[in-house]
Structure 1
Amino acid sequence: MGQRKSRRGLSRRSFLRRMGLGGAAVGAVAGSTATVSIAASTSDKKAISQALSPFQHGVASGDPLQNALIIWTRLSIEGSLPCDVSWEVAESPSFSSTVAQGVFTTDSSRDHTVKIDVTGLSPETSYYYRFSALDFVSQIGRGRTLPQAGVDHLRLAVLSCASIPHGFFNAYRRVAERPDLDCVIHLGDYIYEYGNDGYGSDVQAGGRIYKPGHEMVSLSDYRRRHAQYKRDLDLQRCHQQHPFICVWDDHEFTNDAWLSGAENHNDGEGDWTQRSSFALQAYSEWMPIRLPEPGNRARIYRQFRFGDLLDLIMLDTRFVGRDQQQAGSIPAQTPGLGGFGFIDAGDIASADRGLLGDAQTQFLSTALSSSSAQWRFLGQQVMFGQLKLIGEPNALNVANPGGQGGIFLNTDQWDGYPRAREEVWKMIRGNGGAPVDNVVVLTGDIHTAWSMDINEDPNNPIAYNPLDGSGSMAVEFVATSVSSPGLDEVRELGEEGLKIVNPHMKYINLREHGYLLLDLTPERCQGEHWFVDAIDGPSRGESLAAAHFTASGENRLQSAAGASAAKANPPAPAPYEGIPL
């Protein structure tokens, strides 16, 4: 992903001619709704750049290492001709000290996207980058490399689940406005595959609808949906200011996807292997992600080392190793669940059913056992801790087979793969050796906010004490959605009702939207649920709803007194020129 050999291709003259700017004319970039009248003699290049720049999808950075950073953009042009794009990286937004530069040739085979793996950078350093092509210059982006050692403070934001018709992306804007973040972790459902006659067809917040208007099936469909999302100004700002570390979830493919199929895929939508390959290709093209195995788009599980303070282990619990979800069943004598719920029995309980696959399971085991950092984060898609509608100790599986340890809610999360989760519990417990302390699980997917202790049997008072958290082996923070709707299925129980049934859960919010902020020091990890004040229109308000921390070595959550302190003297943000405020 470095320089590509230049080929004869699109020039500025042919670009402007295609845009209708050979003389006094009205022109528009391909796919843009913006138009502008420009006289042949105009010298207002700033106005031209804002309305007609080929960089209509912004800039982005991602997958930072201690000496490298992915930078990304896309040319909003049509046709198949190749085009040269220059790029440069500097230590200041003025670009007075350029540290790397080059030329990349893009074309329609990669949907005119540009992705550069910039190497030879210094650790724990903020860099500014930009692109130029066809006599236009892109926005300036800001990225940051990972620290190497001696780290005493990290600040990370966690985001997931952004559906365009369901609301405005105000959470992305709030995160963009935090200049002291080291990076953003995105846990999937970055895009949604539905058409306007499906999910959210009656919502259309502020007139926002999916484009294309039908469900994504072809490569062109997936590319166009990614393009629509990258034109959202709030998302553009977030990418512009912070490097992203991402994994996909199901809606980057289609609802409730697994390795060999999906709930929202049928024979009339073609071959699943081809459809999923289209989704993988578009994701690889449009996201600032580095493939840990070059050429293998299906593998995204990987690890990032933030010096001696944090090992961030990113997992794929959605696609590469997942077996099909099972419908499950509930005991006939259990009324009032409205068709929801299942027990740990039958096909659900099979030891052959996996969520990670053998290779990823071994990767995780090695990453946990070999980690020498103070903290270990597991960034992944679906809720790890148990979520029950009726709570009973797991021991009742033996003493009372009719009880089966309670009634679980959702077969699509780790509850639906109980034997696979037991393997991870063993890793954290040390597999007979020393336990792995300071494990924090980060989750998206469920469109709601949760903070909880992790124990194998949280309904068993012998195994776990909810009053002081003794018995907890790790903690989990679940980030709410940017805009996607919450859990109507369990709202009747309410947050407090769910906490009674699930005593390991310290905080639940089934309604609000926003993001999770993580503040990390050698002594403690604090998770804060920040909610925006509205998603039905642009807004600037946000509030802290809950803050919990786990002290180093304690592996349990406690309530925090308030918000964590921001870092002093953060690096200068990238200038917003070209992005309307």
Structure 2
Amino acid sequence: MSIFACRFPVLLPLLLGLSFSIISCQKPYVFPQEINRQLDIGMGYLVGEVNTTSAILQSRLTHGSTLTGIEGKTERLYGKLPGHQGVARFEISKQEDFDQSYFTDWLRADAENDFIVKVKVDNLEPNTSYYYRLVYGVNQSTTHQGSVGTFKTLADKESYNSRTIAIISCMNYDWFHNPQWRIYDPKAQHHLGYETFETLERIAPDYLIATGDNVYYDKMPSNIAKSRDELRTKYHEQFSQPRLVKFFSKVGSYWQKDDHDYRVNDSDPFGDYAPSHQLGVEMFREQLPVVAPEDKNAKTYRTYRLNKTIQIWLVEGRDYRSPNEMEDSPTKSIWGQQQKQWLKNSLLKSDATFKVLITPTPIIGPDSKGKGDNHANLKGFRHERDEFLDWLIENQLEQNFYIVTGDRHWRYHALDLATGIEEFSVGTVDASSTHSGNGKKPLPEDKIEHPYHQSKQTGGFLLLKTLPPQGNAGEALEYTFYHQNGKKVYQVIKTLEKSE
């Protein structure tokens, strides 16, 4: 359904269409000695699944903008950000001063879906910057205007417009804020959140991809999350950090989940323990702008063409997998048959110069010898990995095909010597939950080389940049690893390779 409120109704059919849905949630936690806290949007904005003509806008109505303490706990780590009942709608414009703007219909924020307001907007224009803000209140007659956010739609498939994509993984809030675990730097201002996001704001990428472990349900024995309320609290803590609030208001984002923001470490859909498979799936779809709220059957694996140069594939690594403990065989799968067939079909159809598979877990590695959770593990899903890599070669897709992975807590650039296929591991956003990975360097029997392998305990991210043809030089894709403070630590540029 498409409903609008507009300052310029005559121009509406020519400019913008918005589809909407109602989002709401559970009764908020009652805090001891509750202080007077005003209606706010303490978790800021998230804009997800940006396409050439659509995007998903999200915010959450809250009591204030800072966490309230839980009785008996003094660390910021143990706070909550209670939701606030009310109404809201997004105002959208192509002008920063909102000279010509349009509104979604009013959305209700209540307890059923955690006081989140979320809406998919359609009929946008390709390669266009949009500005938006939330109009919200306890009712429609008493409202406030939120701060202004912005995002850019994707270019069409024939455009060489350069694009930058930041890719992150593993935001371990508990380790970052807990004095027992964090690597303390008085200049880092921990209370603002991860330094990586201050760096990202300076670099100003067009888009951000989070490859999973966006929160950790199962870290810190005193703060493990199992119930719906506890899982939601993990998101409230994470996304109320000021650096995240500021950065995510200015970028389109794409989200994947892995094990820690699904159930527990190395989890699969099986096993009778909390959080359940179903609850883990529900929380991912509720708390992040991954699927349109009215589309209950939407898949969380998808592909996006960013411009003529690059197409990305975002795969789902938890929902369809076989039991991890199952003996490896041709039928053991992380992706499931339907997703795997979709992946192959869409790769064959693509005429993008560079094809980049974004996966929450590694395919090349190597990884820990004793693990059995991913395609790189010897005790994991090697049949599926080998079959897929062989299929790429059989269909002459290995050239200009690259893999980017999250999950591993160190950054590397890997080259599989048997196939020539390369993989980039983005590492963690913060040094507190990373390590050098020195014990995971390739051995001769792995038949893998690492042109780059992180040697120090630092956080950071990977930045992809598409480069248009210049003179006699063809299209190129630039991969740059950044330290959390903004220092470039490794860069490689991949130019167009043509088949014989």
TM-score bracket, shorter-length normalisation:
0.7 to 0.9
Question: How far off is 1:348 after superposition?
Answer: 4.7
| In 1: Cα distance, 2:494 partner to 2:447 partner | 19
Residue 509 of structure 1 corresponds to 454
Kept in 2: contact 1:71–1:116 (CA 8 A): yes
Q: How does 1:116-195 map to 2 (within 5 A)?
A: 116-134=119-137, 135-148=143-156, 149-167=158-176, 168-179=193-204, 181-194=205-218
| In 1: Cα distance, 2:307 partner to 2:261 partner | 31
**Runs of 4+ off more than 4 Å:** 4-7, 29-36, 77-82, 497-503
Using the size of structure 2 for normalisation, the TM-score is: 0.78
435, 441, 445: which one aligns with 2:403: 441
> 1:201-248: per-residue Cα shift (whole Å, max 9, x none)?
xxxxxxxxxxxx532111111111111111111111221111111111
Using the size of structure 1 for normalisation, the TM-score is: 0.67
104, 107, 111: which one aligns with 2:107: 104
Residue 365 of structure 1 corresponds to 344
Question: How far off is 1:5 after superposition?
Answer: 7.7
> 1:3-47: per-residue Cα shift (whole Å, max 9, x none)?
45899xxxxxxxxxxx9xxxxxxxxx98899978xxxxxxxxxxx
Q: How does 1:489-528 map to 2 (within 5 A)?
A: 491=438, 493=439, 503-510=448-455, 511-522=457-468, 523-528=475-480
Question: How far off is 1:284 after superposition?
Answer: 1.6
Question: How far off is 1:102 after superposition?
Answer: 3.1
Residue 418 of structure 1 corresponds to 382
Kept in 2: contact 1:59–1:140 (CA 8 A): no
| 2:490 partner SS | strand
Structure 1's 303 and 447: CA in aligned 2 closer, same or farther, altered over 3 A?
same
420, 431, 434: which one aligns with 1:486: 434
| In 2: Cα distance, 1:6 partner to 1:261 partner | 29
CA RMSD of aligned residues (A): 3.2
| In 2: Cα distance, 1:370 partner to 1:364 partner | 10
| In 1: Cα distance, 2:22 partner to 2:402 partner | 44
| In 2: Cα distance, 1:352 partner to 1:413 partner | 15
| In 1: Cα distance, 2:217 partner to 2:41 partner | 24
Question: How far off is 1:305 after superposition?
Answer: 1.4
Residue 301 of structure 1 corresponds to 301
> 1:406-452: per-residue Cα shift (whole Å, max 9, x none)?
xx45322212211111222133114xx44353112111101110112
Structure 1's 59 and 79: CA in aligned 2 closer, same or farther, altered over 3 A?
closer
238, 251, 269: which one aligns with 2:247: 238
Question: How far off is 1:116 after superposition?
Answer: 0.9
> 1:529-550: per-residue Cα shift (whole Å, max 9, x none)?
1012xxxxxxxx3211111222
User: Which of the pair has more CA radius of gyration?
Assistant: 1
| In 1: Cα distance, 2:350 partner to 2:332 partner | 27
| In 1: Cα distance, 2:479 partner to 2:225 partner | 35
Moved more, 164-173 or 54-63: 164-173
Kept in 2: contact 1:427–1:436 (CA 8 A): no
Kept in 1: contact 2:120–2:292 (CA 8 A): no
Structure 1's 505 and 296: CA in aligned 2 closer, same or farther, altered over 3 A?
same
| In 2: Cα distance, 1:5 partner to 1:192 partner | 28
One-letter code of the match for 1:183?
A: Y
Question: How far off is 1:52 after superposition?
Answer: 3.0
> 1:176-200: per-residue Cα shift (whole Å, max 9, x none)?
2223x2210110000000253x3xx
Structure 1's 278 and 139: CA in aligned 2 closer, same or farther, altered over 3 A?
farther
Kept in 1: contact 2:161–2:307 (CA 8 A): no
Kept in 2: contact 1:53–1:136 (CA 8 A): no
Structure 1's 80 and 225: CA in aligned 2 closer, same or farther, altered over 3 A?
closer
Residue 284 of structure 1 corresponds to 285
| In 2: Cα distance, 1:321 partner to 1:145 partner | 30
One-letter code of the match for 2:212?
A: G
One-letter code of the match for 1:476?
A: E
450, 453, 477: which one aligns with 2:424: 477
Question: How far off is 1:82 after superposition?
Answer: 5.8
2:321 is aligned with 1:322: yes
Residue 13 of structure 1 corresponds to none
Question: How far off is 1:352 after superposition?
Answer: 2.1
| In 1: Cα distance, 2:278 partner to 2:100 partner | 41
| In 1: Cα distance, 2:136 partner to 2:293 partner | 29
Structure 1's 102 and 423: CA in aligned 2 closer, same or farther, altered over 3 A?
same
Structure 1's 117 and 291: CA in aligned 2 closer, same or farther, altered over 3 A?
closer
Q: How does 1:540-551 map to 2 (within 5 A)?
A: 541-551=485-495
Kept in 1: contact 2:60–2:83 (CA 8 A): no
Residue 332 of structure 1 corresponds to none
| In 2: Cα distance, 1:97 partner to 1:31 partner | 43
96, 112, 116: which one aligns with 1:93: 96
| In 2: Cα distance, 1:166 partner to 1:531 partner | 18
Kept in 1: contact 2:126–2:154 (CA 8 A): yes
| In 2: Cα distance, 1:350 partner to 1:138 partner | 53
Identity %: 18
Kept in 1: contact 2:269–2:319 (CA 8 A): no
| Structure 1 unmatched ranges of 5 or more | 8-18, 20-28, 37-50, 199-212, 327-346, 390-407, 464-470, 533-540, 556-581
